[in-house]
């Protein structure tokens, strides 16, 4: 498991590689680090888009409706979803982000949905 500082370095590097965000840089530079520090050692879903970022710890997104990520991608287009496992940053399609979200919603039963279990296990 990476420390929050090390994990944040992965997010910063990906943002620099993709040239994002161009507007609300504090999302990436400050707020994402705060979230990693507040919720260490757990998976996070991350949305990097041209204007900013959104980073959610597992406990945040597990209870949301399954339309949340499709609505987000439509409202804030041009972004990229990632799954941060605590030591690696995995690029995701929108469908994979929804699958992980659904998987977490079903955590009490642990029913793997399509490829989400494979992503979570890697």
pLDDT band, very low/low/confident/very high, at 118 (cuts 50, 70, 90): low
Q: CA 69, CA 55: separation in Å to the nearest integer? A: 12
pLDDT band, very low/low/confident/very high, at 61 (cuts 50, 70, 90): confident
Domain boundaries, position 97: 4-121
Q: Mean per-residue pLDDT for 42-66?
A: 89
Per the structure, how many domains does the chain have?
1
Judged against a pLDDT cut of 70, whether residue 121 lies above it is answered with no
57, 53, 113, 48: which is closest to 85 by C-alpha?
Answer: 57
Q: What is the pLDDT of residue 115?
A: 55
Q: CA 25, CA 30: separation in Å to the nearest integer? A: 8
Q: Mean per-residue pLDDT for 90-119?
A: 74
- Say if CB 21 and CB 105 are below 8 A apart: no
Judged against a pLDDT cut of 90, whether residue 47 lies above it is answered with yes
Q: Mean pLDDT score of the chain, rounded to an integer?
A: 88
């Amino acid at each position: 498991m990476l420390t929050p500082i090390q994990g944040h370095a992965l997010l910063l590097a990906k943002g620099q590689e993709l040239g994002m965000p161009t507007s609300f840089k504090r999302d990436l530079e400050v707020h994402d680090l705060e979230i990693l520090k507040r919720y260490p050692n757990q998976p996070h879903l991350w949305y990097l888009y041209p204007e900013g970022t959104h980073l959610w710890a597992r406990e945040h997104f597990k209870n949301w409706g399954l339309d949340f990520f499709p609505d987000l991608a439509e409202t804030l287009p041009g972004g990229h979803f990632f799954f941060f496992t605590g030591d690696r940053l995995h690029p995701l399609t929108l469908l994979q982000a929804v699958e992980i979200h659904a998987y977490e919603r079903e955590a009490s039963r642990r029913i793997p949905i399509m490829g989400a279990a494979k992503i979570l296990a890697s």
